[in-house]
């Protein structure tokens, strides 16, 4: 339990993750009623970014970056060249593409598809990091 509620940053990131999963579930449940997907994409993308910020702070990812540049500090939970970092970067690229392309393509069918891809990428990134935290 200390893993998710051990300090302020862990508590906030846990609450944000639970909240984004609920938001995705509610949106999927009401998808037939939604006529404008742009607002949903913005909210989800910003929420996902906020989760990434808090998770990186919680796992001291900045220290891993400093270690890779030759500084003598203790690394964070995941090293810069770890599979978690690589998958996180790929997921981040997918999230950025979905979010930014939705600004330029105004078709609601496209935005709906981008919402689902964005949701899958956020869930994937979250599961990779959280499962890795449990196993390490």
pLDDT of residue 65: 86
pLDDT of residue 15: 96
The string of pLDDT tens digits covering residues 57-86 is 999 998 888 888 888 888 899 988 899 999
Q: Is pLDDT at 18 greater than 90 in this prediction?
A: yes
Q: Is pLDDT at 136 greater than 90 in this prediction?
A: no
Q: Is pLDDT at 114 greater than 70 in this prediction?
A: yes
State the average pLDDT over residues 52-58. Answer: 94
Mean pLDDT estimate for the chain? 94
Q: Which domain holds residue 87?
A: 2-135
Contacts of 94 (CB under 8 A, 6+ apart): 117, 118, 121
pLDDT of residue 71: 80
Q: Is pLDDT at 122 greater than 90 in this prediction?
A: yes
Residue, of 2 and 98, whose pLDDT is higher: 98
Residue, of 9 and 1, whose pLDDT is higher: 9
Q: Is pLDDT at 22 greater than 80 in this prediction?
A: yes
**Element of type H or E holding 39:** helix 38-58
Q: How many structural domains is the chain composed of?
A: 1
The string of pLDDT tens digits covering residues 31-42 is 999 999 999 999
Contacts of 36 (CB under 8 A, 6+ apart): 108
Give dist(CA 136, CA 133) in Å, integer: 5
pLDDT of residue 1: 66
């Amino acid at each position: 339990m200390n893993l998710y509620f051990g300090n302020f940053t862990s508590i906030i990131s846990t609450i944000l993750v639970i909240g984004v999963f609920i938001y995705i579930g509610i949106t999927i449940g009401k998808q037939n009623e939604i006529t404008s997907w742009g607002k949903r994409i913005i909210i989800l993308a910003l929420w996902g970014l906020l989760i990434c910020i808090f998770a990186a702070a919680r796992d001291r990812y900045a220290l891993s970056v400093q270690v890779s540049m030759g500084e003598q500090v203790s690394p964070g939970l995941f090293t810069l060249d770890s599979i978690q970092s690589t998958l996180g970067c790929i997921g981040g690229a997918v999230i950025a593409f979905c979010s930014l392309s939705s600004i330029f393509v105004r078709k609601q069918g496209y935005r709906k598809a981008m919402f689902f891809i964005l949701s899958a990428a956020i869930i994937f990134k979250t599961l990779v990091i959280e499962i890795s935290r449990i196993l390490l």
